[in-house]
Structure 1
Amino acid sequence: MNLFHRIRGVLVALSLVFILTVTSACAGAVQTDRTSYQPSGTASSSYNQLERGDTAVGQNFADWVVQTAHGLVKDAYVRDDDKLGVVISPQVKPNEVRNLARSLAQGFHRNFPNRDLNVLMYAPDKKLILKARYDSTTKQIEYQPVG
C-alpha cells in the first residue's frame, strides 16, 4: 500500500509537470497588451484581478494554475512575479505536497526565468504548511516546512 501511495504521488507530480510544460510553452507565444488599460465597470471585478496577481502576467499564471490543476489547487496568487501562493484542496495527501510544490516551482520558473522564486503552499484552511525556494543560480529547490 505504501508503494501505491508513492507511485500515486510521483504520477501526480509528473502529470502536473507535463501540464505546466506543455501549456507554458504554448502560453509563451501569447502577448498581453500592457499599453492600454480597460477599467472594469465594478469595483469587485477590479478587486478579483488584484487577488490573483499584482501584474497581468502573474494574474494569468495564477489563473492558469487553478484551471489546470485538476482540482488539486483551490486558489493561487502571484506577487512581484517571484512569489506563488497556492491553496491546496483536501484531496492532496500530506506526502504529496512536496511533489506538488516542486512541480509548481518548475512551471513557475519556466514562466518567470532568471530569478529566485518562492512557492508558498497553504492547507485547505489557508494555513501556511510549506515554503519552497527555487534558487536560479544553483537550479535547486529548498523546502522549509512550516508549523
Structure 2
Amino acid sequence: MILLQQSRKILTTFILIAVLMITTACGGGTYTQSERTTTPPAIGRSVTYSELERGNTQSGQSFGNWVVQTSRGLVQDAYVRDNNKLGVVIAPQVRPNEVRPLAKSLLQGFHKNFPNQDLTVLVYGPDKKLILTANYDVQTSQIQYS
C-alpha cells in the first residue's frame, strides 16, 4: 500500500514536470520585432508607483519593507538603492515640523543596518516631490540637511 502511494506521488511529480516543461517551451507568445525592442515605460507613465521594488539588493529590500511596516503609517513607501540611499514617501498626516526628526530617525536605523558608509535619506511628500535630503557622513558622524 505504501509502495503504491509513493509510486503514485513520483509519477504525478514527473507528469507535472513534463507538463510544465512542455507548456513553457511551447507556450511562448509570438512577438513582432518592434515589441522586442521597445524600452520599458518611464516611471510615472504606465508603471504605477506601487510596482517599484523596495530595494535593489536583498538587504535593501528587507530594510525598505521594515521601514514601511514599522513606521506606524508615517511612511507610505520606501526604497533602498545600493545599500546607501534610502528614499521614503511620507503620509499626508506627517506635519512639516516632523519631517526632519523622522529623517534623523531613519538615518539612525539605516546606519545600524548599513554601517561604515556615507548614507543619504531622501524624503518625498505624498505627491512624490522631494522635500528633504539628509546626508550622513561616516567620517564626522554628522548629518547635513538640504
Q: Tell me the TM-score normalised to structure 2 length.
A: 0.65
Tell me, in whole angstroms, the C-alpha distance in 2 between the residues paired with 1:60 and 1:137: 26
Counterpart selection for 2:106 from 97, 104, 107: 104
Q: Deviations over 1:73-113 (max 9, x none)?
A: 00000000000000000110001000000000000000000
How many residues align? The count is 97
- Pick one of 43, 64, 67 that aligns with 1:65: 67
Match of residue 113, structure 1, among 115, 124, 128? 115
In structure 2, the residue matched to 1:9 is: none
The 3-state SS of whatever aligns with 1:130 is: strand
Corresponding position of 2:76: 74
Shift of 1:120: 0.1
The 5 A counterparts of 1:2-81 are 51-81=53-83
Q: Which has the higher contact order (CA 8 A, sep 6+)?
A: 1
Distance 2:102 2:131 in 1: 13
The alignment's C-alpha RMSD in Å is 1.3
Give 3-state SS (helix, strand or coil) of 2:60's partner: helix
* Identity value in percent: 69
Note the C-alpha offset of 1:60: 0.1
Cα displacement (A) at 1:51:
1.2
Match of 2:128 in 1: 126
Distance 1:111 1:136 in 2: 13
Aligned with 2:108: secondary structure? helix
Residue 95 of structure 1: which of 86, 94, 97 is its match? 97
Q: Deviations over 1:111-138 (max 9, x none)?
A: 0000000000000010000000000011
Supply the distance in 2 between the matched residues of 1:61 and 1:52 (Cα, whole angstroms). 8
4+ residue segments displaced more than 2 Å: none
Structure number with greater Rg is: 2
5+ residue gaps, structure 1: 1-46
